[in-house]
Amino acid sequence: MQGLITRKIGMTSTISEDGSVAAVTLLSASPNTVTQIKNHETDGYNALQLGFEKGKNLAKPLIAHLKKAKVESKIIREFRIDELPEGLTVGDSISADTFNAGDEVSVTGTSKGKGFAGTIKRHNFHRGRKTHGGRSYRRPGSIGSMYPQKVFKGKKMAGHMGDERVTTKNLKIALVDMEHNVIGVYGSVPGPKKGIVLVEATIKKQRGSK
């Protein structure tokens, strides 16, 4: 099982032996606790439910759900897997050493909210000309034709930017510090500091397989 719930610390840089500098995002990876194990027979799919950190003022249904795992986690996420790992039971702990430096991972977080934004900032539209009588500087332009007299769903327009679930794939683990429970990932990770980030191992499929 290679998946963890982490919290974003911030960014730094590393210098390799040849002198090249690389950006690294640090993630706080305190041990996760297995709160539920799902399987094909009872749930229709295989998955592990993990709890992260200790919460306050938990709801009674959540307290009852976590009673078997003997934790008080408010942050709970589920990771789907192909096969359930042997010997893993509810209440077991999964730490940062589930990953090694060089592993390829996918990270998922909630991007920073930017508020209401126009089409230039939100979708990288070009502005209109500012000469020869042009008045359409930052307008979106035409949003539809005469038929079928409606705006199609998904049309790129002004609106709420950011604050959505984003996954960045094929990032590499730069370091794993078990002493401080920290994982370093090359590159940027979606979300603000202290934001929740899910780290999952990238599953490589063989050529020809579906």
Would 189 be classed as within a structural domain? yes
| Residues 46/85, Cβ–Cβ less than 8 Å | no
| Residues 149/182, Cβ–Cβ less than 8 Å | no
**Region 121-132: what's the mean pLDDT?**
94
Cis status, amide bond into 148, omega within 30 of 0: yes
* 39 shares its domain with 101: yes
pLDDT digits over 145-165, tens only?
A: 889 889 999 999 999 999 999
* 184 shares its domain with 197: yes
pLDDT digits over 158-202, tens only?
A: 999 999 999 999 999 999 999 999 999 999 999 999 999 999 998
* 80 shares its domain with 38: yes
Give the CA dihedral 195, 169, 171, 156, nearest 10 degrees.
-70
Would 208 be classed as within a structural domain? no
Answer whether residue 70 shows pLDDT above 70. Answer: yes
Q: Which domain holds residue 131?
A: 114-161
Q: How confident is the model at residue 144 (pLDDT cuts 50, 70, 90)?
A: confident
**Region 100-105: what's the mean pLDDT?**
92
- Provide the whole-model pTM: 0.86
- Percent of all residues in the chain with a pLDDT value above 90, rounded to a whole number: 78
Give the CATH number for residue 77: 2.40.30.10
